[in-house]
């Protein structure tokens, strides 16, 4: 099983884990051959494949991935689109790859990605929220962003919030149910002390691991005064127990073992085929279509 992270930069989080394949992206029109080779190689070697795509890369990137899947004429590629910011999306891809040996099937793992994403704590220190798209920003905070000394605590999950740091308000954070460590990616002008002095204690005194800034973090958060912060589970076994299904059954369309429909590998094809079968064989549907056609003729 292969996990590709499009718009992602991390290959692994745990020693000895299977690596994800990060493609920082976004791929342009001239990169289609490289994208085809990167996605096609594992499939040609018989592997099932999960492609995690950052939503912020835009619909054209998703369409290019779907085009590659179509050209490969395979149902062994599952595409998962995530709205998480760059660091968190990279963590998600690496965690998905780490879970692969513990998953009962590729379909079970692909179906559990949203549950894995929900286990992450996603925060940021920002010097401005003027360019922030998620979460919503008040007019007062937009105005405050114009002040050169301004700074904000921004949370996406488990709680969504935007609050000026100078107010002294407590962050809406509590120690998580399972142990985590903080992965932090500070830009040059980011305030790393906020993570050390405020965030880590609020989460129960968790450890901190620093990595270089992400390539696309400033674009996503709307500022270069930035520290991206992601709380990452420290035990892959505990994460597997919390997110992976205990039982699977074969997909009625492609046979992939899955926990619930639709199948992440052939779900769209299965629904389209089912719809086509209904239109061809259902007398009610056929009669309805015929009646609609007669109405159109009378209207003309």
Per-residue model confidence as pLDDT tens digits over 160-216: 998 888 766 788 899 998 999 999 999 988 889 999 999 999 999 999 999 999 999
When pLDDT is cut at 50, 70 and 90, the band that residue 151 belongs to is: confident
CB 125 within 8 A of CB 200: no
When pLDDT is cut at 50, 70 and 90, the band that residue 280 belongs to is: very low
**pTM, rounded to two decimals:** 0.86
When pLDDT is cut at 50, 70 and 90, the band that residue 138 belongs to is: low
Q: d(Cα 189, Cα 34) in Å, to the nearest integer?
A: 34
Place of tokens 């286990």: 119
pLDDT tens for 84-96 read 999 999 999 999 9
- Structural domains in the chain, CATH included, are 2-102 (3.40.50), 121-238 (3.30.1180), 246-300 (no CATH)
Strand, helix or coil at 260?
Answer: coil
Output the 3-class SS for 226-238.
EEEEEEEECCHHH
| Mean predicted confidence (pLDDT) in 282-292 | 39
Question: What own/partner pairs with CB < 8 Å and gap ≥ 24 does 156-160 have?
Answer: 156/84, 156/85, 156/88, 156/122, 156/123, 157/118, 157/120, 157/121, 157/122, 158/121, 160/135
Give the pLDDT of residue 266.
87
Strand, helix or coil at 160?
Answer: coil
Neighbouring residues of 280: CB distance < 8 A, sequence distance ≥ 6: 286
When pLDDT is cut at 50, 70 and 90, the band that residue 291 belongs to is: very low
Q: Share the mean pLDDT of the chain.
A: 85
């Amino acid at each position: 099983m292969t996990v590709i992270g499009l718009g992602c930069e991390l290959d692994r989080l745990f020693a000895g884990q299977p690596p994800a394949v990060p493609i920082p992206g976004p791929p342009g029109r001239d990169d289609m051959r490289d994208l085809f080779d990167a996605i096609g190689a594992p499939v040609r070697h018989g592997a099932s494949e999960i492609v995690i795509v950052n939503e912020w890369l835009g619909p054209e990137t998703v369409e290019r991935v779907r085009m590659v899947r179509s050209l490969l004429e395979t149902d062994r590629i599952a595409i998962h689109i995530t709205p998480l910011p760059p660091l968190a999306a990279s963590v998600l891809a690496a965690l998905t790859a780490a879970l692969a040996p513990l998953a009962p099937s590729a379909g079970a793992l692909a179906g559990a990605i949203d549950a894995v994403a929900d286990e992450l704590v996603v925060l940021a220190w920002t010097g401005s929220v003027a360019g922030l798209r998620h979460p919503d920003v008040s007019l007062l905070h937009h105005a405050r962003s114009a002040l050169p000394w301004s700074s904000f605590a921004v949370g996406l999950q488990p709680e969504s919030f935007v609050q000026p740091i100078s107010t002294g308000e407590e962050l809406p954070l509590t120690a998580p149910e399972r142990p985590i460590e903080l992965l932090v990616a500070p830009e040059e002008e980011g305030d790393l002390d906020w993570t050390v002095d405020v965030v880590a204690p609020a989460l129960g005194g968790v450890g901190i691991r620093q990595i270089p800034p992400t390539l696309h973090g400033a674009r996503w958060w709307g500022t270069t005064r930035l520290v991206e912060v992601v709380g990452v589970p420290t035990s892959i076994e505990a994460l597997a127990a919390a997110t992976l299904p205990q039982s699977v059954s074969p997909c009625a369309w492609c046979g992939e073992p899955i926990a619930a429909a639709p199948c992440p590998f052939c779900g769209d094809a299965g629904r389209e085929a089912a719809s086509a079968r209904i239109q061809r064989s259902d007398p009610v549907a056929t009669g309805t279509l015929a009646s609609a056609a007669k109405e159109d003729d009378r209207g003309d």
